[in-house]
Structure 1
Amino acid sequence: MLIRFLIVALAILNLGVALWWMTPRPAPATAPDVRETGVATLELVPMDAVGAAAPAVPAPTGAAATPAAAAPAPTPATAPDAARAAATATATPAAAVSAPPPSPSPPQQQCASFGPFPSREQAQAAQAALRADLSRSQLREVQPKAASYRVLTAPAASREEAQAMARRIVEAGFSDYFIIAQGEDANAVALGQYRNREGAERRLATLVAAGFPARIVGNGVEAAASWWLDVAHADTASAADLHKRSGAAQRQALECARLR
């Protein structure tokens, strides 16, 4: 029974809603067009009328029409003058900043060696004579050189004593020896001949450590020690003129990197 009652009630409600929608109702009232005093109204112009005539702007309602003050149109010279002023303002800072003058390049240096001087004092005198034109200078000693070098023991009193010394040297583990038979070094034991002094000095050190006093003797013509003057000078000074003023017999090229 309850379900039947609900179905009948729902049908009655649906019928009532349908009748309400079908009943004619009056159109809603349109709000009156209210115009404010002193305010111009805007009227729409049909699209086909655009271009035929410019729309007229009606005068304000209820008030005297006051013509609006028109903004003055720019004169033809205004735009070019503004562009010229902007260009001038832009170019002024650039003109104020001037490029710095290029720094002068340092003079090119040249290096040379003057010598040989027989003594340190003569090399120092040449250095003092050239000092005003030199940027750097140093004195260099060249050690004497021989064609070859020999390591010798002291000469013995007799041939027999020299032979006894030679046996002792062999028993100590040394080889490459011979006994000198004549000359100012007769009866001395020679223990090797070397082309450079460094090798002879190493041989001498081993002999002395083993208890055999020995010495180094140069063979051939041996030059005396000499001194050289190494200099660095600017290219404004002539190397030939410096050589002449130094009084040196020779002039040799020198890498500036070797000059301390």
Structure 2
Amino acid sequence: MLTRALIVVLVILNLGVALWWLLRGEPVSEPPASPVGVAQLEVLPPTQAPPAAAIPTNNAPALQDVTPASAPAAAPVAQPPVTPEVPPTAVAATPAPTPAATAVAPATAAPAVAPPAPVPPPTAPAQCVSLGPFADRATAQAAQSRAGSALRAARLREVADAGATRYRVLLPPAASREEAQATVKRIVAAGVSDYYIIAQGEETHAIALGQYRNREGADRRLAALSAAGFKAKMVASGGDGSAQWWLDATLAAGTEAAAARQRSGAAQQRSLECARVR
């Protein structure tokens, strides 16, 4: 029953909508508004005869210029804003912007990346040499002159006892044994080994730091002690007391030790730690 009632209601609604659509009529459009101030053409009805004075001689339909009695007032014209007068000095102080100034600034170019600096080739470590022996100082100086540019930072060194068979390295005697023991503590702290305190003789309270059969070993020991801050000395023994001179120098770049020995006229060449030349 409910379904049939709904169907009947829907049919009645559809019939009402169709009836309204048929009886609503066509919409009447309003004539467009005529512009203000323009003459309008008015067509008279056919049942009304035009006045005799208005009929033209050529039997043309009469035109009637119907102008409104009063035209609407014109819209007020907007007045430009009044610009206050600017003194000439102010105008001169503020120049007008130029097109270049108002243009958009171009994007800043990224800075060019500089190429990496060339890495210089590694330099070879310095080599030092000891040339000799020479009988006296004058002979050693002549040998230095003959070597010339093959040697750098050259210095002369005298060996007091050339015929020595032993070389001892020691620190000078201290004022007391307590002072010598304090020096020994400093030696141990610096990492130096092979030492003892002399207890008697002319070198009492001196600190012996090794005995060597060749001078090169004693020289290396002296260089290590000097780097640690100790002023040791070398004592030669077992020789005849004759002296010799040696030429200690740094080899110039690209110079071989054998070539420097030949130029100086030395009989021997020995490798040397460069710390002793400086």
TM range (shorter): 0.3 to 0.5
More helix by share: 1
TM-score in terms of structure 2 length: 0.30
TM-score in terms of structure 1 length: 0.32
